[in-house]
Structure 1
Amino acid sequence: MEILIITGMSGAGKSLCVKYFEDIGYFCVDNLPPSLIPKFAEVTLQGKSPIEKIALIIDIRGGAMFLDLMPALLTLDVMEIKYKILFLDASDAVLIKRFKESRRMHPLTQDSRLVEGIRQEREILKPIKEKADYIIDTSCLTPRQLKEAIIEHFVEGKLFKGIIVNIVSFGFKYGIPIDSDLVFDVRFIPNPYYVPELKPMTGMSSDVIDYVMSYPESRTFLNKLVDMVNFLLPLYVREGKNQLVVGIGCTGGRHRSVTIANKLCDRLKRKGVSAVIEHRDIDRDNKGG
């Protein structure tokens, strides 16, 4: 039996996760009181038709009961029942934006401001985040990208299952992604921005892709980049790293970085690596390429 504990910040996407894990064959239980986890696992194991994959969504909605989570996990350890923990996170700014857009109240803001509720929740969740086997930051992920990340991470047949690679294309003029582990500058590639017919397009266009990849230095760089990431991944897994953020930057984040980031993602996926793509600045004003 495989038990996955899904927890994390309120507003980080746990409700969406329930649907996605059901889609890939998990039996999901939302908001189970943590103190009942050991008994639930015991009863499930004793059933005539044991459930193979279970996802338990546990969060701060349970109030003081959430504090029972760590003791419950210790009980599972004593019972020698294996489990993994997925922690969903997002930046404070994104969480605030999501709560304001949804007009929902944060579970800890009955007597305080939203910012203070988020701060309190981070403090309460700190021990479980440190214990997590997987951490997914949903700050820049669309629902579709979150689903892709879950499929890549939890569906059998993937290599390097302990780590997910987030590839982010960006424009240096808008700043380097603050959570980047590796950053690569592709401004050495001739800029499609200065080709009139390519300027209004993006690196998703076949014309821009053909232009960028027509240069030998682009192809050589991509090959070396794929080799480097493939070399590093098992070393990062060995050291316990569960997420690698690779930033690919050009001037404006619309042309060269988008093409190279997509190519890198495709090449890694073909090798069985769990990879998710994000084009941070592709929809910004077309100034700089």
Structure 2
Amino acid sequence: MLFVIVSGLSGSGKSTALRTLEDAGFFITDNLPPELWGAMYDLVRASNIEKVAVSTDSRTREFLAALESSYVRLSRRYDNVRVLFLEANAEVLLGRYNLSRREHPLGETLMVDFARERELLAPLRAIADTVIDTTSLSAKQLSERVLQVFRLEQSFTLRLMSFGFKHSPPRDADLVLDVRSLPNPYYDPALRSKSGRQSDVAAYVFRDPEAEKFYEEVRDFVQTAATRARQSGRHSYTVAIGCTGGQHRSVAVTERLSRELTDLSVEVVDHRDMREVTGEREGAPV
């Protein structure tokens, strides 16, 4: 198990660091007093949780006198405890606070608060395994540094779903694509009651060179959009593929995309409007 203690100055990026670790699969507890570190370690170990991060900062100032003793007890018992400390210069912290209009946890004038906070947290900074100065870092750059420190990979999932426009497009998709220009198996009586998951239906949808070219353009566009989303720091991206009823063309395209976009972690979320066994429905093309 990896047990990470995240601390640092208010406004230095602790929330960003914690979100990054949470997205990487860590169990997160924010604002945990040092005297509870050992109890938290034992609790999560008993629950077979492999990655844990706890945050301690000046909000727990009533308990900070126990910082060093709590760390010593924990590190003597276990050798997998890491301390990550974040800081930035006072001018940058002041700018971040003025932008957010938050009140500092110590509640005096900001420049005095920054100095007092550095003093309060000095023992934890002294024992930190890693200190990151976020003065010149963006949130994205900080996330990348945190991932590097703990040798983590940023998770990214491309979520695909099919739907029928006659049932309205999904509201939670990042990208909606229309494949109604592809050949429609609905007009073949032998295929009408089947779904786009079946090979003969897929063969019909992609049967001619123009259909194949259209599909390839869709595939390349989805690849580009998902890659850009991942590069921008997104952890997931949802693409909805629509035909008229959500039974044939959109399903066939979604299934084929899931097989061919091999350099992305692809998850088929749902074939929202597909019926596994159907007859004719409302006499409308699907």
**When the two structures are superposed, what TM-score results if normalisation uses the length of structure 2?**
0.51
Provide the residue aligned with 2:22 in structure 1: 22
The Cα of 1:145 is off from its aligned counterpart by 0.8
| 8 Å CA contact 1:24, 1:155 repeated in 2 | no
| 8 Å CA contact 2:6, 2:53 repeated in 1 | yes
| 8 Å CA contact 1:7, 1:58 repeated in 2 | yes
1:154 to 150, 153, 156: 150
Provide the residue aligned with 1:101 in structure 2: 99
Q: Following the alignment from structure 2 to structure 1, what is the Cα–Cα distance between the partners of residues 74 and 124? A: 15
2:111 to 105, 115, 123: 115
2:120 corresponds to 1:124 = yes
Q: Following the alignment from structure 1 to structure 2, what is the Cα–Cα distance between the partners of residues 146 and 41? A: 26
Q: Deviations over 1:73-94 (max 9, x none)?
A: 1211332353010000100100
**When the two structures are superposed, what TM-score results if normalisation uses the length of structure 1?**
0.51
2:12 aligned counterpart, secondary structure: coil
Q: Following the alignment from structure 1 to structure 2, what is the Cα–Cα distance between the partners of residues 149 and 42? A: 28
| 8 Å CA contact 1:4, 1:85 repeated in 2 | yes
Provide the residue aligned with 2:7 in structure 1: 7
| 8 Å CA contact 1:76, 1:82 repeated in 2 | no
Q: Following the alignment from structure 1 to structure 2, what is the Cα–Cα distance between the partners of residues 89 and 10? A: 8
The Cα of 1:62 is off from its aligned counterpart by 1.3
Q: Following the alignment from structure 1 to structure 2, what is the Cα–Cα distance between the partners of residues 32 and 127? A: 17
The Cα of 1:6 is off from its aligned counterpart by 0.3
Runs of 5+ consecutive residues of structure 2 not aligned to the other structure? 154-286
2:85 corresponds to 1:63 = no
The Cα of 1:115 is off from its aligned counterpart by 0.7
Q: Which amino acid aligns with 1:69?
A: L
Q: Which amino acid aligns with 1:129?
A: R
The Cα of 1:68 is off from its aligned counterpart by 2.1
Runs of 5+ consecutive residues of structure 1 not aligned to the other structure? 158-289
1:105 aligned counterpart, secondary structure: coil
2:130 corresponds to 1:142 = no
The Cα of 1:46 is off from its aligned counterpart by 2.5
1:7 aligned counterpart, secondary structure: strand
Q: Which amino acid aligns with 2:100?
A: S
Q: Following the alignment from structure 1 to structure 2, what is the Cα–Cα distance between the partners of residues 7 and 142? A: 18
Provide the residue aligned with 1:34 in structure 2: 34
Q: Deviations over 1:151-205 (max 9, x none)?
A: 2222259xxxxxxxxxxxxxxxxxxxxxxxxxxxxxxxxxxxxxxxxxxxxxxxx
CA RMSD of aligned residues (A): 1.5
Provide the residue aligned with 1:51 in structure 2: 49
1:143–1:80 distance in 2 versus 1, CA, 3 Å = closer
2:82 to 84, 88, 94: 84
1:36–1:81 distance in 2 versus 1, CA, 3 Å = farther
- Return the index of the structure with the highest Cα Rg: 2
Q: Following the alignment from structure 1 to structure 2, what is the Cα–Cα distance between the partners of residues 75 and 29? A: 19
Q: Following the alignment from structure 1 to structure 2, what is the Cα–Cα distance between the partners of residues 86 and 15? A: 13
| 8 Å CA contact 1:31, 1:59 repeated in 2 | yes
The Cα of 1:14 is off from its aligned counterpart by 0.5
The Cα of 1:149 is off from its aligned counterpart by 1.1
Q: Deviations over 1:81-109 (max 9, x none)?
A: 53010000100100111111111111112
Moved over 4 A (4+): none
Q: Following the alignment from structure 2 to structure 1, what is the Cα–Cα distance between the partners of residues 17 and 76? A: 28
For these two proteins, the number of residue pairs brought into alignment is: 153
- Work out the percentage of aligned pairs sharing the same amino acid: 36
